[in-house]
Structure 1
């Protein structure tokens, strides 16, 4: 059984130790449902921390390249964050819903819980978009949590009804179909699509027709989390499910499990780059090449962390910083948004409090890009304070 979960209450409170390889009797270990996969918690924590970091620069015009989204085509480190979250949602699903997959009589209750969770995620996302000024006329309907909620409710029945071969076939159909949809379908009033333009694709057309003034405020005519681009994002979630099924495969040893994750990751990287030659890698459009490429990075990252943390059981106090974000990711996401929005709601002399902090404590003596990054790091540390409190009190908020 290749996915065994290793957790101890004081795992991160010890001093750093050397990497300890597993003993022969650990090669096939039990997989109790009340344990957590350490690598997944750390993976989620690193991704959550990076999201807070890249979403809160001191100056959007002065950002080091790795911490900025690709302007249109291409993929930076920052562009990996959102697909990583969706991927991890799929991985988690294979463990949290494993009993319901094996016992069909449990599925009605699982569907009910999935529906409630999806509605909560969508509701929280809509509320955060409405804050702090409650501008209903320009209330953005889509967003990160909304997309995750939609993908969750779609992925649950797919997980229950399809085996890994079926998931692969469906993923291929979606990716090829989306390629044809974006490149071959004429746009009313425009003609053939131009993927080099922000708003000359079927996704932008549909989003604008259906949501109008309720799109992303910085774009006005399209939305990076739009309805049509949510379709290929289903495959990102299915990729996570496939990875989770591989980790939980009963006949695979831990080392074979890691090898599979790494090999599959490299294959997807190559395939994504190759597909990108004819269908540009683009996060806002969530192109098929983007799905494959980012899934490759996700498989590689999970494989590396699984090998380090769940097989060799590497222990270090520094990992606590990532874990406090990982076990309470939804809380960190909400708090980071509320922190910024609350300061925006109470300006001082025409500036919000965080802007004043940036002007006085950073840009006044640092180079522009360094000051912008230092400010973002400060926001990460501010968010870490309540997350650490929740972690110490063993409080985990779930939706």
Structure 2
């Protein structure tokens, strides 16, 4: 990791706000006080469909694509060596992967499991951060080595190709193509490549961030690159950029709803309709923020979100570390053994709220705790880069 102090280059504030809001939402939905009491919009769809919570991950990947445009264009003014830029992106991918698996090792040791062989034997290989890392690297290579027209063709090919793969190729051992959790082609491939011990701990027979789903996830990144290219275009008026983004976003959502009839919107499979639906909504959201913040200079509410957005990966790591440490510290409540998190939750929240409101209050409290940790970095304009 490296740290930039007092960065002078202007940042796209609307992108930082959207990224920060997305990161804060991720912390909120991933850390309820009690998983048995969660408001439906703060939980994922069971299978097909899309809740507000299901928008968080694709929004982040969309912004990875937008950020690639701004980052690469800046670096291309400093060097025309694509190999050097690709090597930098590769190292960043590896760093993100090491951070992901390092967190797993850290909490395994914290829980008293010092057997590295056992940890490796049960290590989940796919995951949210690994998918972000891989999509970032592949999309960076695509951006540097292709034209905008080629990227459009790759985007369309990824969506159509994934649809044909998932709906037309028979699944070995099943005999027919299907979109069910445990028997779809992606689940079969994940078990074949990773084995059941290295998949999502709540299933072990399929993984929502599996291999095949990376194809449409890359398309989500390309969606962001397309929008980022518009925003970065100095020859286009801001008003025209906004109009194009709104039209593009709305058309993508409408198309997604049509595709949903034969290839359902589904986050866990990252279906092509899901790419269009979430990419369209992310485009509309960014267009609205760009109009409000960057064009009309409305910045009163931005500091809270920019605090998360400037150091989003740091926020992601803290969202694992802080609750994990609270869980690891032993404590007691009413004479029964628990952990510090459980003690604070039962003492400060449960007596004063209904179960579901106590659960969401705990999540909100964690968002503010992490914000307080990050705020000094924001005030000093410090960006921790990975």
TM-score (norm 1): 0.88
Correspondent of 2:203 among 205, 208, 219: 219
Alignment correspondent of 1:343: 326
Unaligned runs of 5+ in 2: 1-5, 110-118
Cα distance in 2 for partners of 1:104, 1:158 equals 18
> Is 2:18 aligned against 1:34?
no
Alignment correspondent of 1:12: none
Unaligned runs of 5+ in 1: 1-8, 10-32
> Is 2:218 aligned against 1:234?
yes
Cα distance in 1 for partners of 2:310, 2:378 equals 8
Alignment correspondent of 1:304: 288
Work out whether residues 131 and 341 of structure 1, in 8 Å CA contact, stay in contact via their aligned partners in 2: no
Cα distance in 1 for partners of 2:363, 2:234 equals 43
Cα distance in 1 for partners of 2:79, 2:308 equals 34
Work out whether residues 327 and 342 of structure 2, in 8 Å CA contact, stay in contact via their aligned partners in 1: no
Correspondent of 1:262 among 246, 261, 267: 246
Give, in angstroms, the shift of residue 367 of structure 1: 1.2
1:210-247 Cα offsets, whole Å, 9 max, x none, are 21201111111111111111111000000000001111
Alignment correspondent of 1:46: 21
Give, in angstroms, the shift of residue 83 of structure 1: 0.7
Where do residues 1-399 of structure 1 align in structure 2 (5 Å cutoff)?
Answer: 34-99=9-74, 105-134=80-109, 135-195=119-179, 197-212=180-195, 213-316=197-300, 318-349=301-332, 350-399=337-386
Alignment correspondent of 2:115: none
Cα distance in 1 for partners of 2:76, 2:246 equals 26
Work out whether residues 232 and 288 of structure 1, in 8 Å CA contact, stay in contact via their aligned partners in 2: yes
Cα distance in 1 for partners of 2:211, 2:345 equals 36
More strand by share: 2
Structure 1 stretch 198-207 or stretch 350-359: which is displaced more?
350-359
Cα distance in 2 for partners of 1:288, 1:101 equals 32
Question: After TM superposition, which residue ranges in structure 1, 4 or more long, deviate above 6 angstroms?
Answer: none
Give, in angstroms, the shift of residue 348 of structure 1: 2.7
Secondary structure (helix, strand or coil) at the match of 1:279 reads: coil
1:20-39 Cα offsets, whole Å, 9 max, x none, are xxxxxxxxxxxxx9210010
Give, in angstroms, the shift of residue 99 of structure 1: 5.0
1:80-104 Cα offsets, whole Å, 9 max, x none, are 1111111111101111111556798
